[in-house]
Amino acid sequence: MKVLVAPDKFKGSLTAAEVASAVAAGLADAHPGLVVRELPVADGGDGTVAAAVAAGFRRVEVPARGPTGVPVTASYAVRGDTAVVELAEASGLHRLPGPPQPLTATSAGTGDVIAAAVRAGCRRIVLGVGGSAGTDGGAGMLAALGARLLDDTGRELPFGGAALARLASLDLSGLSEVDIELASDVDNPLYGPCGAAAVYGPQKGATAADVETLDAALRHWASIAGPEFASRPGAGAAGGVGFAAMAVLGARLRPGIELLLELLGFDAALAGASLVITGEGSLDEQTLSGKAPAGVARAAAARGIPCIAVSGRCRLTSGQLAEAGISAAYALTDLEPDPARCMAEAAPLLRRLARRVALDYFSLSR
């Protein structure tokens, strides 16, 4: 029998590859005869480059600007002429050297990484847009790719979303041409009550006054860069990077997990499998909105293969799990009620949990 283990990360505890390894070890403990294929996955957020590398892409490290402009080393993954770029690598919250900077944080580093991939010969960029530190409408990314954002005196704007309120003209004559596919599960518009600033700004340190400032700046930015794109689903992804990518770079938006599964060769990995095991740190209502486990379960169901999920904790009812195509869910909290211990001892607990999965699913005697 063959089992495909295709989990996302357990955020704060284990990478997707570490989750897959622990699950595979637990399955082998209970049933040494199982054929287990490990395929860590991601949905476009942090961990996307790591998942691509685990699937056979090559990791490339490049210098880039972090969200405050401080230099960082970021990675992208490459295979052939396709590069997988993860916005969080250079422009993520975890790259902040200090407190959040909601008004001035920039996506320039993401543009730096894309530019490096293009210089290396990549012609197709898959851009995962999750975990951003800023709300600059993607302006920093465009500037790094050769665009010039000018105020009414002809000077280039400083970084950050707040500065967009002073934008007078957008010069795209030096912009690099690049074929981009956006991997995102966010359907927010650029601005308004459901927009990038209002919904995600507070998570990035924005006060109520900051949100108003940023939302007004994004409205002005859209009026110059492409008003018809501002209301499109996904325009608000990653603080508006989705908007800039679609309005200026001609990017195509696709559900993150759908695009990543295709890129990682998920269909081929399914061949011959009798069970799929997926998972993430917390199975909750967000899981149902296009997160990796739901996407994996949907793809498995299309091939008539049952899917089981593992997690740190599960907050979904059996009905919600069934609706997502997940036939059963196992959580670390089933073994250890203390969340802190679940985080600290995630790998050995997950190995024990996977053993239980194997015993239950394959009806082996205890």
Q: Tell me what the mean pLDDT of segment 263-288 comes to.
A: 95
pLDDT of 16 > 50? The answer is yes
Taking the CB of residue 21, how many other CB atoms lie within 10 A of it?
A: 19
Cβ-contact 311, 283 below 8 angstroms: yes
pLDDT above 70 covers a percentage of the chain that reads: 99
pLDDT of 93 > 60? The answer is yes
pLDDT of 364 > 90? The answer is no
Cα–Cα distance, 190 to 195 (Å, whole number): 5
Confidence at 366, pLDDT banded by 50, 70, 90: very low
pLDDT in tens, 235-259: 999 999 999 999 999 999 999 999 9
Supply the mean pLDDT for the chain. Answer: 96
Taking the CB of residue 80, how many other CB atoms lie within 10 A of it?
A: 10
For the chain, first and last CA: distance in Å?
Answer: 19
Q: Tell me what the mean pLDDT of segment 43-65 comes to.
A: 95
pLDDT of 162 > 50? The answer is yes
pLDDT in tens, 306-332: 999 999 999 999 999 999 999 999 999
For 51, 71, 276, 343, the CA distances from 347, given in Å and listed in that order, are 18, 33, 19, 9
Cβ neighbours of residue 25 under 8 Å, at least 6 residues apart?
351, 354
Cα–Cα distance, 251 to 180 (Å, whole number): 5
Confidence at 363, pLDDT banded by 50, 70, 90: low
pLDDT of 21 > 50? The answer is yes
pLDDT of 290 > 90? The answer is no
Cβ-contact 112, 145 below 8 angstroms: no
Cβ-contact 43, 50 below 8 angstroms: no
For 25, 34, 333, 355, 359, the CA distances from 29, given in Å and listed in that order, are 6, 10, 21, 6, 10
pLDDT of 116 > 70? The answer is yes
Confidence at 365, pLDDT banded by 50, 70, 90: very low
